[in-house]
Structure 1
Amino acid sequence: MSDMSSKGFHSVHPASPQDLAGGSGVPQVDNALEPIGIIQEIAGSSSSIALDLTRLQECSEDADPSVALAGQVGSQIKIRVGRGWLLASVRTQKQDTRSPGGITAHIDFLGEGDEERLTGRIHGFRRGVTCYPIPGALVYPATTNDLRQIYASDGRSTIQVGTVFPTRDIRAGIYIDAFLGKHFALLGSTGTGKSTSAALILHRICEAAPQGHIVMVDPHGEYAAAFKTTGMVFDVSNLAMPYWLMNFEEHCEAMLTSTGEQRQEDADILARCVLQARMKNRLAEQMGRITVDSPIPYVLSDLTTILQNEAGKLDKATTSAPYVRIKNKIDELRNDPRYQFMFSGMLVTDTMADFIGRIFRLPADGKPISIIDVSGVPSEITSTVVAVLARLVFDHAIWSRDEKQRPILLVCEEAHRYVPNEKNSDGSSVGRILSRIAKEGRKYGVALGLITQRPSDLAEGVLSQCGTIISMRLNNDRDQAFVRGAMPEGSRGFLDSIPALRNREAIMCGEGVSIPMRVTFDDLEEMKRPASADPSITELWRQTGGEEASVQRTVMRWRAQGR
């Protein structure tokens, strides 16, 4: 037994006759009922406690895994306050000879609950603290039964994605409305199981809402395999994105090659000519007044003809070079087979409603997710394609306010590519529209999901707009510091464990969960996993035969720029 009583630790649970072992008079300790420390200092959300080393060693042998970890970094402890319990997580630990018990730890308060009279367990748990403990209050281990009450759903719609660490059977639930309504971010270094975890969460959402509307930007073509039966997959072969859906800013990104002062001159010319091309459509006549941003169909050959005509009107003091530059670029886009998914030579018809219905899954028909595989899109236009998709999601939400609201979830894998920080920004429109969705999207029913392995490369402020953060292992110090700044203060106790997380483990905190938690994600069925597994190099190198034919097929695809 420990020497707690001699140092000011007092148990409030006297030993019963059943606790005495064989009449020897030596009580058998129920670790859940015996204190492990006392409060030393109270300071708002973070306070310090004194832990008894001997009691922690006794708890470490307990059959209850939650009690066995009592007092360790990332574990939960409880403190009696009046007739209830206050729950806290341990953030730091250090040896302190001046401390009663020999260990000083800092804790973060998570919330409070009432005490069941018969069992002493926590029930009616709620976030926040209304009544703080006083120095000298006793600290107890939080048991698995306590945690079961704390992590239990409060009746809101949830999806279950894993098991709460360190328990074996408490399910980790995510509140769907809060998770999506205030955006989320999934972070993790390469190889931690990030893609599989993203697929797991999206599968659970699709199962809960088979008539939902989810658009996922997939830059590596990983997720087609995971959602081939529960979603629609679009790539360069069937995306058929009309070029005239681009607004003026996106037109400039796709069709202008100049820089500096020349670019502004070219942009002015392009604006005039695109507006003239749009006005040739009968829709423009019906609409009356339109702008260069209006999504009115026009024919590319009309645009090049207008450019030629405008160049012919020039006086000798003005050069025709800008017109030639723009026309040459448009001809290049029309003739390059890699751009046919967007700049096809077919006659232009008004397919906007059909395109939006297909991509946004309106109606979903039991396949609520669209996977937009942009791995085959030329790199110089990928950002523009993603910008068009993201802007269409946002604009559709704005202009459908008079209709029955149908929220749309936009998920971006490799998000740091599209919303980079100022240091890595190239000024592209995709960063601006995604930043705007992060700030304003929830007002219009647009949910944003950001998945990235480099959170420190994200635009400043975007991560802080995410109400729920799911962080898997992060190996980079800059990334860890960035996430630490974005996480709520009550979650700081979990952050120190981020570098030590195992694969398929994560820290979840924010609006989408009851309290911050460490979670082991469920195994996902083979057919539902993305094609993101690392290949076995030695195994592949052992395989021989067929190399010549494989090289020939590869060369043919390479030359055709097809896949």
Structure 2
Amino acid sequence: MNGFLNRMSYSAPRRHEDGVLTDREALGSIGADEQNRRDVLTPGNRFLGRVVACDGYHAVIAAQAPNGETTLTELWSVGRLVSISVGQNRVVALVASMQSATKAWDERDANLFHIDVELMGEVHAEPDGREVFSAGITRYPYIGAIAHRIRHADLRRIYDGNAGDSCAIGELTQDETIEATIHVPSMLSKHFAVLGSTGVGKSSAISLLLRKAVEADPKLRVLILDPHNEFAAAFPDMAVTVDPDTLELPFWLMRLDEFAEVIFRGRPAIPEEYDVLRETIPEAKRAFRGGMEGGLLRRQIDRAGLTADTPVPYRMTDLLAQIDERIGRLEGRAEKPALRTLKSRLLAALDDPRYRFMFTTGAVDDSFQEILAKIFRLPGEGRPITAFQLAGIPGEVVNAVASVLCRMAFDIGLWSEGAAHILVLCEEAHRYVPADAALGFLPTRQAIARIAKEGRKYGVSLGIVTQRPSELDPTILSQCSTVFAMRLSNLRDQEIIRSAIPTASSSTTTFLSAIGNGEAIAFGEAVPVPMRMRFTRLPQNRLPRPHQHAEEGWVGTSKPLDLGVIVARMRAVSGPDISAFQQRYEATERQQATAPGILDHIEGQTEAYEPYAPAMLPGMPQSPSDNLFANPQLDRFNSLRRQILSGDIDGEPQRDAGLRRPPGGFSRKP
């Protein structure tokens, strides 16, 4: 073996018995200058070594470094592409690993080493004489085939963006003079993911990809779920910003499970209260419909049945009135505690200033069309991107908001019949679709999964951004046909990438932990072969950054610190404007309070009983001696009511309208 390796650099190739062209004859079809550069079998020239082993997807190349020099070994580095001559074709291979044959290095003599390469494809000539690259291999390397440095022209052929919808997003790490291009329609139609640790440049890469996507598809509308409020600065000329102060997402747009997520503050819903909402919300919607004098909305509602999930307006006053009506019924005493608790939850949500985006003065207007036009930029009016800032929205509501947005994005693509192209970009996607099915919010997971599985049919695309691929639902990641893997130091995250990348390029994941900031391994439908590339650096004024940060960063900012403003924002003193609701609800309460009732029989009664008094709950003692929380007024009322109904006191009971005080007063029978 050593003798063969020592002679192979100086002996000329020979013709095989089966008529296959020798290496010299195979190289004779190219120009003289090109042939001179790569046909001279001299170490350090284009000749690198010969194939000594090969199988279906990788090969081993033996090479020699004469006189202890490292000039030749510098040409072999992990991640570089090389060529192997096979007849008139040139097989393209990726260097996966290399090692010295003797596990040592001689400073004065020749050193032998072996290089493991993965076969990527081949460059071959078309019938018209053009040379093109294809991912398939028609003729595999034979033992002794020459391996050489890849031509600059072949690199261009491999990564050539000759398709009309391809665009450059950076340059190759191996040759910075060659642009790294992607096919935008393939990236969007089959979804994409950007994966990388914190600080490696994911946000900058996303900003660049979105700009290229919008330029390639003018019909595209982009919705960014931005949990860090940083993308608005990256698109000052292309995006509108939706934050908690400008957001209008009425409560009636939510489905029942989404509305329950808000009311129960992210905790599991109480079954009894959930069932009440399921029954009373349709009634509130019918009450709102009854208040409309005809119109398109009423005709549409009449044609379709109303459920708790139907996205039509209703008033919170009507919903609370339905609950109050159930509380006032004589039957169903067992469900009254649940009804009162549910009513308290609804009132607490109304009073919470963080929920102002749901309960505004115009929340009961039929503004569905205006909301869709604003959030999804239909029409875009020159700004096709919406940066949806989620940082100021309560954590227990974020999942419900994300569910509503993703669900509406899919519905727009479905019912527009291809007229709208929408891209939903989920930053920190592992929050919404975690790998653990017990975590997260099920409707959000279902909405995103529906886009991932069916969105391509209706022009709805999904972009996934995360720093922890191992914590992301593998089903969602498997639907992303184009992946940009940036630096990942976690071994579990690297395993996820290794399982997603094609087998013929799996070695590219071995240096994921060592690539620099702004670099990525791109593979999938949008690129012809996996490539190591560096994203183009955006100008400073187009880089994502939180809006609080000055352009010069943390250091050097001159903005004064005002603790009063900080405290005011933390307390959210500017609560939601629910004055109109309060006026309607108080009027209803006064009307009910002035109605004749059984409490009129109690002389001197001026205060209403406490609705949450423990004595009113089922199973609680009614005697003051048995109850530490006794209510004397309530005891007096119960005793008087029992006497009247039993006939011990003169007077005719009137169960429906309430008992009236007789002209002669109350008197006991003899």
Tell me the TM-score normalised to structure 2 length. Answer: 0.73
Q: Which residue of 2 aligns with 1:40?
A: 53
User: Which of the numbers 139, 148, 154 marks the counterpart of 2:147?
Assistant: 139
Partners of 1:468 and 1:511 within 8 A in 2:
yes
Provide the C-alpha distance between the structure 1 equivalents of 2:184 and 2:313, rounded to a whole number of angstroms: 38
Give the Å deviation of 1:221.
0.4
Matched, 1:50 2:58: no
Q: Which residue of 2 aligns with 1:64?
A: none
Provide the C-alpha distance between the structure 2 equivalents of 1:362 and 1:36, rounded to a whole number of angstroms: 59
Matched, 1:252 2:265: no
User: Which of the numbers 350, 356, 360 marks the counterpart of 1:334?
Assistant: 350
SS in structure 1 at match of 2:513: helix
Partners of 2:43 and 2:65 within 8 A in 1:
no
Partners of 1:50 and 1:104 within 8 A in 2:
yes
Q: Which residue of 1 aligns with 2:86?
A: 81
Matched, 1:555 2:567: yes
Unaligned runs of 5+ in 2: 13-22, 105-109, 290-296, 576-670
Q: Which residue of 1 aligns with 2:172?
A: 164
Matched, 1:216 2:224: yes
Give the Å deviation of 1:465.
1.0
Partners of 2:233 and 2:541 within 8 A in 1:
yes
* More divergent stretch after superposition (265-274 vs 505-514): 265-274
Q: Which residue of 2 aligns with 1:507?
A: 521
Give the Å deviation of 1:228.
2.1
Deviations 1:130-164 (A, max 9, x none): 33223332222213222012111132401211001
Provide the C-alpha distance between the structure 1 equivalents of 2:543 and 2:75, rounded to a whole number of angstroms: 35
Q: Which residue of 1 aligns with 2:283?
A: 276
Give the Å deviation of 1:127.
1.7
Identity, in percent, stands at 32
AA aligned to 2:248 is: A
SS in structure 2 at match of 1:383: helix
Deviations 1:438-468 (A, max 9, x none): 1221122110000111111101221111000
Matched, 1:310 2:326: yes
Matched, 1:195 2:203: yes
Give the Å deviation of 1:535.
8.2
Provide the C-alpha distance between the structure 2 equivalents of 1:229 and 1:386, rounded to a whole number of angstroms: 25
Provide the C-alpha distance between the structure 2 equivalents of 1:56 and 1:349, rounded to a whole number of angstroms: 85
Partners of 2:288 and 2:314 within 8 A in 1:
yes
Q: Which residue of 2 aligns with 1:104?
A: 114
Partners of 1:183 and 1:447 within 8 A in 2:
yes
Tell me the TM-score normalised to structure 1 length. Answer: 0.87
Superposition CA RMSD, Å: 3.5
Provide the C-alpha distance between the structure 2 equivalents of 1:359 and 1:246, rounded to a whole number of angstroms: 15
Matches within 5 A, 1:392-471: 392-401=408-417, 404-422=418-436, 425-471=439-485
Matches within 5 A, 1:502-541: 502-531=516-545
Q: Which residue of 1 aligns with 2:99?
A: 94
Give the Å deviation of 1:83.
1.8
Partners of 2:403 and 2:443 within 8 A in 1:
yes
Structure 1 pair 281–288 and aligned structure 2 pair: CA distance change class (3 A): farther
Deviations 1:69-108 (A, max 9, x none): 6432111112223321111212222333499973333322
Provide the C-alpha distance between the structure 2 equivalents of 1:504 and 1:481, rounded to a whole number of angstroms: 21
Provide the C-alpha distance between the structure 1 equivalents of 2:361 and 2:43, rounded to a whole number of angstroms: 78
Provide the C-alpha distance between the structure 2 equivalents of 1:521 and 1:382, rounded to a whole number of angstroms: 31
Give the Å deviation of 1:471.
0.8
Give the Å deviation of 1:347.
5.3
Matched, 1:493 2:507: yes
User: Which of the numbers 181, 189, 199 marks the counterpart of 1:181?
Assistant: 189
Partners of 1:89 and 1:109 within 8 A in 2:
yes
Provide the C-alpha distance between the structure 2 equivalents of 1:361 and 1:417, rounded to a whole number of angstroms: 25
AA aligned to 1:493 is: S
Structure 1 pair 289–316 and aligned structure 2 pair: CA distance change class (3 A): closer
Provide the C-alpha distance between the structure 2 equivalents of 1:69 and 1:533, rounded to a whole number of angstroms: 46
SS in structure 1 at match of 2:225: strand
Q: Which residue of 1 aligns with 2:594?
A: none
Structure 1 pair 167–358 and aligned structure 2 pair: CA distance change class (3 A): same
Q: Which residue of 2 aligns with 1:265?
A: 272
Provide the C-alpha distance between the structure 1 equivalents of 2:67 and 2:244, rounded to a whole number of angstroms: 59
Q: Which residue of 1 aligns with 2:242?
A: 234
Provide the C-alpha distance between the structure 1 equivalents of 2:286 and 2:464, rounded to a whole number of angstroms: 38
AA aligned to 1:86 is: V
AA aligned to 2:216 is: A
Partners of 1:51 and 1:71 within 8 A in 2:
no
Structure 1 pair 133–328 and aligned structure 2 pair: CA distance change class (3 A): same
User: Which of the numbers 262, 287, 292 marks the counterpart of 2:308?
Assistant: 292
Partners of 2:214 and 2:220 within 8 A in 1:
yes
Deviations 1:373-410 (A, max 9, x none): 11111111011111110011112222233xx4322110
Structure 1 pair 409–306 and aligned structure 2 pair: CA distance change class (3 A): same
Partners of 1:219 and 1:374 within 8 A in 2:
yes
Q: Which residue of 2 aligns with 1:387?
A: 403
Structure 1 pair 57–177 and aligned structure 2 pair: CA distance change class (3 A): farther
Structure 1 pair 5–459 and aligned structure 2 pair: CA distance change class (3 A): closer
Unaligned runs of 5+ in 1: 22-26, 62-67
User: Which of the numbers 494, 513, 518 marks the counterpart of 1:480?
Assistant: 494
Structure 1 pair 489–419 and aligned structure 2 pair: CA distance change class (3 A): same
Deviations 1:292-337 (A, max 9, x none): 2211111122111112212333625523122222222221222212
AA aligned to 2:159 is: Y
Provide the C-alpha distance between the structure 2 equivalents of 1:511 and 1:491, rounded to a whole number of angstroms: 14
Q: Which residue of 2 aligns with 1:344?
A: 360
Structure 1 pair 259–196 and aligned structure 2 pair: CA distance change class (3 A): closer
* More divergent stretch after superposition (165-174 vs 316-325): 316-325
SS in structure 2 at match of 1:480: helix
Partners of 1:31 and 1:141 within 8 A in 2:
no
Deviations 1:482-508 (A, max 9, x none): 111122223312111211111111110
Q: Which residue of 1 aligns with 2:641?
A: none
AA aligned to 1:40 is: A
Give the total of aligned pairs: 539
- Structure number, greater radius of gyration: 2
SS in structure 1 at match of 2:232: coil
Provide the C-alpha distance between the structure 1 equivalents of 2:477 and 2:496, rounded to a whole number of angstroms: 9
Partners of 1:36 and 1:51 within 8 A in 2:
yes
Structure 1 pair 541–113 and aligned structure 2 pair: CA distance change class (3 A): closer
